Amino acid sequence: MTKAIVLLSGGVDSAVTLAIAKALDHELYALSFDYGQRHAAELACATRIAGKARAIHTIVRISSFGGSALLGSGPVPKGDGECIGIPPTYVPARNTIFLAYALALAEVLNARDIFIGVNAVDYSGYPDCRPEYLAAFSAMANLATKAGIEGHGPGIHAPLIDMSKADIIVCGLECGVDFSMTCSCYDPTTAGACGHCDSCNIRLKGFAAVGMRDPIRYR
Amino acid sequence: MTKAIVLLSGGVDSAVTLAIAKALDHELYALSFDYGQRHAAELACATRIAGKARAIHTIVRISSFGGSALLGSGPVPKGDGECIGIPPTYVPARNTIFLAYALALAEVLNARDIFIGVNAVDYSGYPDCRPEYLAAFSAMANLATKAGIEGHGPGIHAPLIDMSKADIIVCGLECGVDFSMTCSCYDPTTAGACGHCDSCNIRLKGFAAVGMRDPIRYR
């Protein structure tokens, strides 16, 4: 077994990514971030998902600089309309900060693989979810670290990159993911997910396309 | 005046870099990190240096994953010998994490310039101080952010990249840097810098090459 770092938010995509890394027989190190997000409930989901997968789970508390609806700057947009351009829920440089931490952890643990659950199909239009971004991060990572210059820098894997949300759900079902443990809503309450934010909309459409009822609670 | 983010550790290099950014007439946002380093005294230096330059100063507290003599894993090496390979004071992915935060702050503030005081001459052999690393980070940054894909991603500037420590000190003197406010030692005490670690050695050699007494206190 070789070690793998898996970025785990607690949503559908990262839960399926963790299950894929487990199916590939990696020793799992799940990494989550508490960055002042509105939807802190996802961290509780991440902890449960990591526990079920027997992953060693680290939650890193990081400062953030605001500038996103997910951090309380302005309302979370609701509605079924297509996003035009980059939506206000974009968090500046989020995946770059997350992957930088994953890179540091990989170096310390001598892990050769980093998994991130981004996808470029149903992805809300964030710039740091695109394949060209991930390729550039990977090139940078190979120059940034001791492992990299010794020729064994970590691979950055985004196994969902070309999947639709429906594809991801099907893949997760095949890998035994319990979707009732996941949480995706940008604006959840104790009564459940809102069912109307961009993230809920993409999720609900994905389950509808698969012909399956989403097992989480909506308010 | 346009906004610039300057990574500021409190040492010679970052103090000179801040002075260069000020000489270029930027509105200065200095960014320091509390990452559990042994030499926390440098944060007090950074605060004084930022104050003198009238920079807005942010200290970000970040988790780290260990794996470096600077974080308490093993002794700080002392002596005048040349380093062979990457020394134990290397902190995994440090500059990548620092620059990722700078990128996020640049995006939030709409700043077009990020300054980092790395140099590839007297640099202790760290992989993330090399020009090819910085070029790769810059390429990645232009794909990572909203500003980047809109065509105005921040420039990553390393004005000291080709300078020796002596060159940097001369440049700092021309820019009015007060080197008595800086601190470089990897293992300082209240009695002063050790004078024997890699960082002290490089610093002392630089002042000697310039023919100037280093104004800080050594124990």
Name the residue ranges covered by the structural domains of chain A. Answer: 3-210
Q: Which residues contact B208 (CB under 8 A, 6 or more apart)?
A: none
Q: Residue A154 has what pLDDT?
A: 92
A97 touches chain B (CB under 8 A): yes
pTM metric for this prediction = 0.86
Gap between the Cα atoms of A5 and A9, Å rounded: 13
Most confident of A85-94, B21-30, B140-149: B21-30
Residue B22, pLDDT score: 97
Is the CATH code 3.30.420.40 the one for domain B3-210? no
The chain B residue lying nearest A108, using CA atoms, is: B67
Average pLDDT of chain B to the nearest whole number: 85
**Which positions in chain B touch A5 (Cβ < 8 Å)?**
none
What's the length of chain B? 219
The pLDDT value given to residue A76: 46
Residue B6, pLDDT above cutoff 90? yes
- State the residue for tokens 């983010």: B5
Q: How many CB pairs under 8 A join A and B?
A: 133
Tokens of B94: 């440090």
Confidence of residue A82 (pLDDT cuts 50, 70, 90): very low
Where does the pLDDT of residue B183 fall: very low under 50, low under 70, confident under 90, or very high at 90 and above?
Answer: very high
Q: Report whether pLDDT(A138) > 50.
A: yes
C-alpha angle with apex B60: B57 to B63, nearest 5 degrees?
A: 165
More confident residue, A189 or A214: A214
Residues from chain B contacting residue A35 (CB–CB below 8 Å): none
CA of A165, closest CA in chain B: separation in Å? 22
More confident call, B39 vs A188: A188
pLDDT tens per residue across span A24-81: 999 999 999 887 766 678 889 999 999 999 999 988 877 655 554 444 545 544 544 4
Pairwise CA distance, residues B51 & B28, whole Å: 11
pLDDT of residue A189: 87
* B170-194 average pLDDT score: 93
Q: Say if A84 is an interface residue toward chain B (CB within 8 Å).
A: no
DSSP letters spanning A148-207: HHTT-PPEEE-TTTT--HHHHHHHHHHTT--GGG----SS-BTTBB-S-BHHHHHHHHHH
Q: Which residues contact B72 (CB under 8 A, 6 or more apart)?
A: B36, B38, B66
B101 touches chain A (CB under 8 A): yes
Residues B122-167: tens digit of each pLDDT: 555 678 888 999 999 999 999 998 888 888 889 999 999 999 999 9
pLDDT tens for each residue of A125-136: 678 888 999 999
Mean pLDDT of A20-24: 97
